[in-house]
Structure 1
Amino acid sequence: MAAKQVVCALLWVLALVASIIEHAGGAVSDFVKTDGTSFVVNGEPFYANGFNAYWLMLKASKTSEMDKVSTVFHQASSYGMTVVRTWAFNDGGYRPLQSSPGVYDEDIFKGLDFVISEAKKYGIRLILSLVDNFKSLGGKRQYVEWAIQQGENLTSYDEFYTNFRVKTFYKNHVKTILLRNNTKTGVVYKDDPTIMAWELINEGRCKSDLSGRTMQAWIEEMAPFVKAIDGEHLLEVGLEGFYGGLDHDQEAIQHDSFASSRNVGTDFISNNQVHAIDFATIHLYPSWIPQADDKTQLKFVTDWIHSHSKVADEVLRKPLMVTEFGKISRFAGCNGVDKVAFYRTAYNVLYKLIRAKSACAGGLFWQLLLPGMENLSDSYEIILSECSYIANIISQHSRLISSIINPSLRRLTVTDQ
């Protein structure tokens, strides 16, 4: 009997490994699509389980550091992760992809080519963001400054959303990225299913117009522009999940007072209702409520995801992805009890919503680094070899998601969190 149990256990483990490889590290040959409030690949359910690594293109463009990209994808695949979100921009400044409007550094571009080819090799899907709201890698500020240098009389960086010349700069960048012929794979970006989705802007905000109309108009212009070039890939805005001043059913958001009170000129409902937007996104950081104790912050984690999933289900009728979530621990290192509790709670909520077939279809933590990358530390990072408790939570989450895709593996997983 003991020998039989051992054999069965080994078979179960092999089946689990095969399933994880199939769903998280196999060949990427079909585009991710939406079906109602779900993601699907070739008709089968797909769940986003992964991380952010904005730095991939910059590391890949240096021969001495390319191996970091390969290592992080290999590591992610071994943990069952399926999606990585990264930047397809670096505007002006140090080692830019785009040094001035329409002028690109081919070596940096080849770095992005390598990122996509390595992602494909390891069965990882990519979400590529096209510009930043913030200035660290140029972003909308750099676009406005370029326009000023060309004679535009601009007084606000929010004119990124309204000035014709600036919008033309952005559209040209979008077109350049989408029509790029990958020097590693020979596949034009718009034709590559390794890319899961495009993101219009990382955490776009327009505080000069809290009515939300400026941001809404920009999305209504740019989303169809992207789709006119690329009708295959999914498209999302890059929102954090806040509600603004646009008119919509207040009953839909009355349960989410924090999201309603933090107006940054975006609107989770109206922005995501644009026809060309395929799925909704939110970000999640307990640092938004810094005075709250740990218990209150964990409740916020649960409420934030649940409330937006409900709106995505009942109002938007589109999938939802938590494209950033993370926490800075009060304790040294990444194994602090508060940070571990945050990750356990976030993944528990994600798993239960996925199992319930809600609109919430997964999440990506911020951010994954490797040992020796301390210069990119922002205190949110996870280094899997050093963050053992969180690494185990991520690994368990991957197994649980795999068991949803393949129910025969259900008893292989640990007891529900």
Structure 2
Amino acid sequence: MHLRATMRKCVGALVGQATSTAAPAPPAGGVTFNSFMGCNCYYLLTRAADPGCRPMVLQTLDAMQALGFTVVRIWAFNDGPGWMSLQPQAGQFSEQVLAGLDWLLAEAGKRRLQLMMTLTNFWHEFGGMPQYVRWSRGLPDDAAASGDDFFSDTGAQQLYLNFVTMLINRVNSISGVAYRADPVIHSWDLANEPRCEGDASCSRIAAFIHAAAAHVKSLDSQHLLTCGLEGFFGVSSPDLQRANPYNVTHGTDFVRECSSPHIDFASMHMYADQWRPGAGDEQCSSWSVEWVRAHMAACQQQLGGKPLVLQEFGKKPAGPGRTRLFSEMHKLLQQSVATGGVLRAALPWMFAHESYPDYDGYTIYATGAPDAAAAGQSAQPVVADKQSVQVLRQMCAAAAGVQAS
């Protein structure tokens, strides 16, 4: 998700209490892929790094566990100037923020939650690829920079790989376990929503993904790896390009990028209300089903049955339209898992504590709405939406049933 400007400070200290269940065991016999139901929560790293915000983090994790989520996708990066930056300067890493990530992993493990660790962002929020481009070119932190330029800037890519190497090799200061061997880490995610506008050949992102994936696997063969794609079809799938919103590729090629033998599962994102502007709730749901089915077909027919994860999906505003969309995704996922299909997991965008404002209109709360203070900072009028949360609860229960069987 391309976030609007987000508040980068703690919204208040809260009271939280950890549970004390055991951490999940590592997969037997090497890397395996099991179906799951997860959620996105990008802010956990920065809040975990601030002791005053940790009670909020604990309550967020508790709520995720109570709903039945088992995997949480987080931003495992924060680059450049700003609050709780992990990498304030190229190659300089904040031990305070890294210690916060250690703590977050430890607390997630107590709740039998695993973390999907996203390593950078195409968009400018939290630094990401634009910040690597600035550093590579010696530009000031407030200079204009584009994530598109990252894919032709070998210096920027090397800075990214240096960060990835540091993170994978880190030893958790609490557990004493190296990240590359930590069973609380579900997977590594190379980048959030990489695009390269103007690359008609759709080759630059593919080259980066294949090289970066090989690098990650050379450091860590014990964890799953994915690449954070939105899923636009490119030259490898001419018959499926018509499924793309606006009939454009954004310089990406879903099949080519996911074809790396080092990519363990394909990812896709889905935002019908952004990509099909003006469409009603019924049209959004229908288009979303076809978007997912197109990727299922690509994974089955062109990627040898590689597992597919709906890594982000959402609908705004909250209310019946969101509930309808979530219900359709529930049906698709349940049917695929039951029949041995390629769609194996889904993660809605995004889950948050009630004190966290709904900045982008997609935020999901366990109680159905933010608290009064957060509502005043939200992007749109607050609509209580317990029905959509109930659908997510059902999706989690269905995923748990599969794991138990």
Counterpart code for 1:201:
A
2:325 pairs with 1:337: no
Please name the residue that 1:13 is paired with.
Answer: none
**Which of these residues, 166, 178, 198, is aligned with residue 208 of structure 1?**
198
Once residues 50 and 156 of structure 1 are traced to their aligned partners in structure 2, the CA distance between those partners, rounded to angstroms, is: 30
Moved >4 Å (runs of 4+): 32-35, 154-157
Please name the residue that 2:403 is paired with.
Answer: 405
> Per-residue displacement from partner, 1:200-251 (whole Å, max 9, x unpaired)?
1100011131311111111121111111111111111110110123xx3545
Q: Note if contact 2:133-2:145 (Cα within 8 Å) is conserved in structure 1.
A: no
2:139 pairs with 1:133: no
**How many positions carry a matched residue from both structures?**
363
Q: Note if contact 2:36-2:400 (Cα within 8 Å) is conserved in structure 1.
A: no
Please name the residue that 2:50 is paired with.
Answer: 62
**Which of these residues, 179, 184, 191, is aligned with residue 194 of structure 1?**
184
What TM-score results when the alignment is normalised by the length of structure 1? Answer: 0.82
2:113 pairs with 1:119: no
2:393 pairs with 1:395: yes
SS at match of 1:104: coil
155 and 82 in structure 1: CA distance in 2 versus 1, 3 angstrom threshold: closer
Q: Percent identity?
A: 29
2:71 pairs with 1:89: no
Larger Cα Rg: Structure 1 or Structure 2?
A: 1
Distance apart, 1:124 and its partner CA: 0.9
Query: In terms of mean alpha carbon deviation, does 376-385 or 121-130 score higher?
Result: 376-385
2:375 pairs with 1:385: no
33 and 391 in structure 1: CA distance in 2 versus 1, 3 angstrom threshold: farther
157 and 389 in structure 1: CA distance in 2 versus 1, 3 angstrom threshold: closer
2:344 pairs with 1:361: yes
2:293 pairs with 1:306: yes
Counterpart code for 1:218:
F
**1:158-307 counterparts in 2 under 5 A?**
158-245=148-235, 248=236, 250-251=238-239, 253=240, 257-258=243-244, 261-286=247-272, 287-307=274-294
2:355 pairs with 1:372: yes
Please name the residue that 2:373 is paired with.
Answer: none
Distance apart, 1:258 and its partner CA: 2.4
What TM-score results when the alignment is normalised by the length of structure 2? Answer: 0.85
Q: Note if contact 1:32-1:196 (Cα within 8 Å) is conserved in structure 2.
A: no
For structure 1, list consecutive stretches of 5 or more residues without a partner in the other structure. 1-24, 41-45, 408-417
SS at match of 1:311: helix
> Per-residue displacement from partner, 1:63-95 (whole Å, max 9, x unpaired)?
111122221222111221111000111010212
Counterpart code for 1:291:
G
Distance apart, 1:130 and its partner CA: 0.6
Once residues 318 and 133 of structure 1 are traced to their aligned partners in structure 2, the CA distance between those partners, rounded to angstroms, is: 24
| RMSD of aligned residue pairs (Cα, Å) | 2.2
SS at match of 2:130: helix
Please name the residue that 2:23 is paired with.
Answer: 27
Counterpart code for 1:303:
E
Once residues 398 and 217 of structure 1 are traced to their aligned partners in structure 2, the CA distance between those partners, rounded to angstroms, is: 36
Once residues 237 and 219 of structure 2 are traced to their aligned partners in structure 1, the CA distance between those partners, rounded to angstroms, is: 33
Once residues 89 and 157 of structure 1 are traced to their aligned partners in structure 2, the CA distance between those partners, rounded to angstroms, is: 15
